[in-house]
Amino acid sequence: MVKKIPRPEHPRPQFKREKWQNLNGEWNFAFDDQNQGEKNRWYQKQEFKSRITVPFTFETEASGIGDRSEHNKIWYQRTFAVEADSQQKVILNFAAVDYLTKVWINGSFAGSHAGGYDSFAFDISDFINYQGENNIVVKVEDSRSKTQPRGKQTYKKDNFLCWYTRTTGIWQTVWLEFMDQKLQFEKIKITPNIDQKEVELEYSFKADEFRAGEYELITKIEFEGQLINKFDFEVSQKRHKYKINIEDQNNEIKLWSPAEPNLYDLKFELSSKGQIVDQVNSYFGMRKISIEEDKVFLNNQPLYQKLILDQGYWPKSLLTPPSDQALKKDVELIKEMGFNGARKHQKIEDDRFYYWADKLGLLVWAEIGSTYEYNDQAVEEFSSQWLKIVKELYNHPSIITWVPFNESWGIEDVAKNEKQQNFTESIYYLTKSIDPERPIISNDGWEHTISDIITFHDYVESFDKLRKTYLESIDQLLDNKKVFNNQEYIEGGKFIMADNYSYRGQPIIFSEFGGIAFQDKEGWGYGEQVETKEELSRRMNKLMEIIREADYFEGYCYTQLTDVEQEKNGLLDENREYKLDLEKIIEFNQIVD
């Protein structure tokens, strides 16, 4: 009986190559706690006696292992036959592996990669047998290091407060792509311009040499099956850039928004001597995100953001979404509650999440997992991985804000330390060099440096204190003359701006509040736990009434969507069941209209 492949859908809907092969499923597996594997050349001959279901990590029940103890060096192995001929290149793709990955094909070293959230690939054409079986071996090393971007994965022995079980190894899809030997279509950068009713397409190709007249690329732009534009060009260099008008026969374009998430389809055909050698499908949304004075605009209209904090954990699979349907369901649930967006907190999500956000209409803040220490190594690893992620996610219309830092994690002295302030500025400007349009929040929550939006995090329980802070003292807060969020976990409170920086009239968003948990001896939440649904609803509504009265806020983000392990303050439990009546959550979101 053939076992069903987990996560069988294409992992990259915005660059979907026609010829691909999924390598998810059962792999052989071994722990290497003594780190003997490379020395003993396990990549050549070792038999791994355990089994693991990829793409789930050994810590998860879904993997078939479910071992929550710490193992920092692990190995994977399987065989495969390629569904390609010798005229095609074979590219091995990993959507995400945490953290240091080394790969061997048929005993030969294919490459390595450091990072837990960005995708990577190796050209394995020179190592494979096009006829018969091939052997792939993967070694992964992880650690509790605070210098690697890790997000909410605990850096202690056990879980604590709002830090959870580690994710070690392959945690997203592994797949092969097949393409032409001589020239490869690598990526497409899509930049919509709604004011000019056009889209800019920047193509990237790879080849040993470019020969005149050898390759042609045909691009088709369609909307709901109707051809909008078609053009072709000769591929003569590594990059080509074109601006394409996308007006329909009525001189109109279809805008993307949460209410109407219109998407245009892109189809690319690479041909040589009249024969198609590569086909890729993509899509894009025509939307504009901008800031004018103290307001955020979507498609030239004021945007009030109603966000939910979403950490993307599941009880049986942790960081790995159990299915494509699970991702779609989360997007649907968020919209059903009356939120128009999600702050994906401390995690770069599976690309299928952003696909469903694009398709169903959900605004997203993209936020990398933090480091928890500042040094040269952390700066190098963070910077490299963040910029890769920005480039990877650039085309998604749903993503409207970049969040590289959260609550001074990894830059704990940024309030006064010039080096750390320079680091945040460098990340800001490097991000702007790739994407000049999306807003960037330099340090979400407090101690902002250069930032397009100013955000507050505050879990103070006293409604009187919150009312006084945000209704009577906002000018003092913005002038850095008064602290806020002076509660159990933030002794002494925080200033909103770092030293030598000042508020410049940016939009203001209350991007973390709430976090109220039901009474649970084992569970954790912010402040005093509640015993009844009525008490939870009452406290939530009182918080929202303060936000409504503080009419300078241009949006909010409530903590949080679901319970996550010991943190029991979700509107849903970890199985996505409502803890509060849906109607009450909708009413909560309607308090500010």
- The CATH code of the domain that includes 554 is 3.20.20.80
Tens-digit pLDDT profile for residues 417-467: 999 999 999 999 999 999 999 999 999 999 999 999 999 999 988 899 999
Calpha distance 453→507 (Å, rounded): 5
My answer on whether 585 and 465 are in the same domain is yes
> Running DSSP on this structure, what letter comes out for residue 242?
E
Is position 1 within any domain? no
Calpha distance 392→93 (Å, rounded): 14
Residue % of the chain over a pLDDT of 70: 98
Residue 2 reports pLDDT greater than 60: no
My answer on whether 174 and 196 are in the same domain is no
Domain-ending residue, one of 127, 159, 179: 179
Model confidence at 3, pLDDT cuts 50, 70, 90, reads confident
My answer on whether 330 and 388 are in the same domain is yes
CATH of the domain at 146: 2.60.120.260
Model confidence at 521, pLDDT cuts 50, 70, 90, reads low
Is position 358 within any domain? yes
Q: Which domain holds residue 219?
A: 183-284
Mean pLDDT is lowest, of 6-10, 44-48, 306-310, 330-334, for 44-48
Domain-ending residue, one of 129, 150, 179: 179
Other Cβ atoms within 10 Å of 258 Cβ, number: 18
Q: What's residue 345's pLDDT?
A: 97
What's the rounded mean pLDDT across residues 546-565? 96
My answer on whether 368 and 231 are in the same domain is no
My answer on whether 92 and 161 are in the same domain is yes
My answer on whether 122 and 62 are in the same domain is yes
- Residue 342, token pair as written in the block: 């999600």
Is position 50 within any domain? yes
Is position 295 within any domain? no
Is position 292 within any domain? no
Model confidence at 488, pLDDT cuts 50, 70, 90, reads low
Tens-digit pLDDT profile for residues 562-576: 999 999 999 999 999
Q: What's residue 167's pLDDT?
A: 96
Tens-digit pLDDT profile for residues 490-516: 677 899 999 999 999 999 999 999 999
Is position 289 within any domain? no
My answer on whether 67 and 139 are in the same domain is yes
My answer on whether 239 and 349 are in the same domain is no
Residues 6+ apart with CB under 8 A from 37: 30, 43, 46, 73, 75, 139
CATH of the domain at 232: 2.60.40.10
Enclosing H/E stretch for 335: helix 324-336
Q: Does the model's pTM come out above 0.85?
A: yes
Domain count, the chain: 3
- In one letter, which amino acid is 469? T
What's the rounded mean pLDDT across residues 55-59? 98
Q: What's residue 370's pLDDT?
A: 96
My answer on whether 145 and 166 are in the same domain is yes
My answer on whether 229 and 308 are in the same domain is no
Residues 6+ apart with CB under 8 A from 194: 253, 255, 286, 287, 288, 299, 300
Helical pair 376-393 and 418-434, crossing angle rounded to 10 deg: 20
My answer on whether 341 and 404 are in the same domain is yes
My answer on whether 451 and 468 are in the same domain is yes
Is position 294 within any domain? no
Domain-ending residue, one of 161, 179, 197: 179
Calpha distance 374→372 (Å, rounded): 7
Q: Are 308 and 284 in contact (CB under 8 A)?
A: no
Identify the burial level of 468 via C-beta atoms within 10 angstroms of its C-beta, where 0-12 means exposed, 13-18 middle and 19 or more buried: exposed
Is position 7 within any domain? no
What's the rounded mean pLDDT across residues 328-352? 98
